[in-house]
Chains A and B, each alone.
Chain A
Amino acid sequence: MREELLSIIEKNSRIDIKELAVRLGKEEIDIVNELQKLEDEKVICGYHTLVNWEKTSIEKVTALIEVKVTPQRGQGFDRIASRIYNYPEVRDVYLISGGFDLLVTLEEKSLKDIAMFVSEKLSTLDSIISTGTHFILKKYKDHGTIIDEHVKDEREVITP
């Protein structure tokens, strides 16, 4: 049931226990226990909400930053990654294969905030060789959800 349970709550973490139990054909207590286990094992890392900030009056700028670094003896990329992800303004840090090493995403109020972070905090860290900053202009799809999609049932209302 683990895979099914996770794929339901990955899309809708507000679903209630009773409905989960009915849909998965389990007892409510089994669902509660499984969720607890998944939380304890850190399989479930949070119950976030997907927000389309563009529809609000709140300004947000998102940047993807490619970072090239020199890995450190005995610690590989982990140490430098932790120095980056400990900044609260950093949203994601991924180790990447290919032309650069770390992909860092940042969400800030303005372009200037991001520029400040990159030039003053990120670039000045030891072992950072170079950075390349990309700004997101428009989000079409986020976390598997098409942003601002209006689904209409195109089917005939009654078919055999």
Chain B
Amino acid sequence: MSLPLNESVVNIKPSGIRKFFDIVSEMKDAISLGVGEPDFDTPWHIRDEGIYSLERGKTFYTSNAGLKELRQEICNYQKRTQGINYDAMKEVLVTVGGSEAIDIGLRAMINPGDEVIIPQPAYVSYFPCAILAGAKPVIINLKAENQFRLTADELLNAVTDRTKVLILPFPNNPTGAIMERSDLEKIAQICIDKNICVMSDEIYSALTYKGEHVSIASIEGMKERTILINGFSKAYAMTGWRLGYACGPAEIIKQMTKIHQFAIMCAPTTSQYAAIEALKNGDNDVRLMRGAYNQRRRFLMNAFKEMNLECFEPYGAFYVFPCIKEFGMTSEEFATRFLEEEKVAAVPGSAFGDSGEGYLRISYAYSIENLKTAMERLSRFVNKLRSEKHNV
């Protein structure tokens, strides 16, 4: 019997991370530097609010777009951090994580054959979601010499008359790169001139270490052509709650809400109540976590400097992206040997696109003690590889 299978789904390659995951899972005592989620627990007052909502019997569906109070708090948050005014009734949709917003946002905007520009290295979902939406993904390979920021020239070279959407994933996973206001202004001008919509994935917006995050939607003329995606996972350490949101032009949000309504119904009610508390009273938690991440970031950058390992200084998210090209191996070979010989798991940069080849993603969502041990091992490993190379 031949089972019905959709060809575009079958043709999607499984995530490069998956393969690596299987090797790591076999190993008992490995240290991991491979996670893309905070090591902190969700702050207690936020968890408590989730529990309290259950005690009060808040166990029903919410409206499709999400609790009105939550949408209002999201608007307040965007107002106070970015100075953007969104209408809670028409321009906000609460989703099941930022991931759902990426998926349904593309589906709501794309017609078959439309081009979606994806700067890489980037989070693994954009490419398959674009394919599933019927788009033609157009990749921009970002460069270390630009600190993995997107430049105007790179964008102009990728734009055609079929370009509909630019995905803007900053602060970036896996590189830790950010885009500052001056970088964004150039990108914004091109999007306005060429009539391109931006999907700005700002899930790491609370975690920047050089000034405050700037959203492209806050630049004049951009709010009406930007789908801003954010959520609670990274800022408030709430990954398992599965809660994110999209803000954008009412017409697009309306279509996204339709897909969300039929495919999902609504985001988890308990998580929505907890998220209201996070937005109302969570600023200090974010500040403390950001401080801790920043200390670890500096610690890693110093460790790389001491072992003479090339790495541009990233100012966002909780990743560093050191260059391993000097060892003459692919990043997958490097990561595999590092795991086998030193029992430390880090994700090969190539899992995030071809331009990630030659780099390693190291997450610092770990305690300093954990990072210390890992850096001792990395230093030993790097020295070993250098002496091997020397002896050949």
Contact = CB atoms under 8 A, between A and B. Distances in A.
Whether chains A and B associate is yes
Q: Which bracket fits the contact residues of B? A: 20 to 34
Interface stretch (B28-36, B49-57, B73-81, B160-168): B28-36
A134 interface: no
Given A22-B302, A23-B368, A157 B291 contact: no
Contacts of B298: 22-25
A130 B208 CA distance: 55
A155 interface: yes
Contacts of A19: 299
Contact of A160 (B39, B124, B295, B368): B124
Nearest to B99: A160
A4 B24 contact: no
Given A23-B368, A24-B298, A158 B39 contact: no
A159 B345 CA distance: 11
Interface in A1-56: 4, 8, 19, 22-25
A4 B292 CA distance: 9
Interface residues of A, number: 14
B310 interface: no
B347 A158 contact: yes
A153 interface: yes
Given A4-B291, A153-B39, A158 B21 contact: yes
A120 interface: no
A22 B299 contact: yes
Contacts of A23: 295-296, 298-299, 368
A155 B302 contact: no
Contact of B35 (A4, A22, A159): A159
B30 A157 contact: yes
A156 interface: yes
Given A23-B368, A153-B39, A158 B32 contact: yes
A24 B368 CA distance: 13
B37 A155 contact: yes
B37 A158 contact: no
Nearest to A18: B302
B123 interface: yes
Interface in B257-301: 291, 294-296, 298-299
B373 to A, nearest CB: 13
A112 B214 CA distance: 64
Interface in B3-50: 15, 17, 20-21, 24-25, 30, 32, 34-37, 39
B122 to A, nearest CB: 10
A155 B296 CA distance: 19
Contact of A24 (B24, B173, B295): B295
Given A22-B302, A23-B368, A153-B39, A158 B345 contact: yes
Interface in B114-171: 123-125
A155 B39 contact: yes
B35 A156 contact: yes
Given A158-B32, A158-B347, 7 more contacts: A4-B291, A8-B295, A23-B298, A24-B298, A157-B34, A159-B17, A159-B35
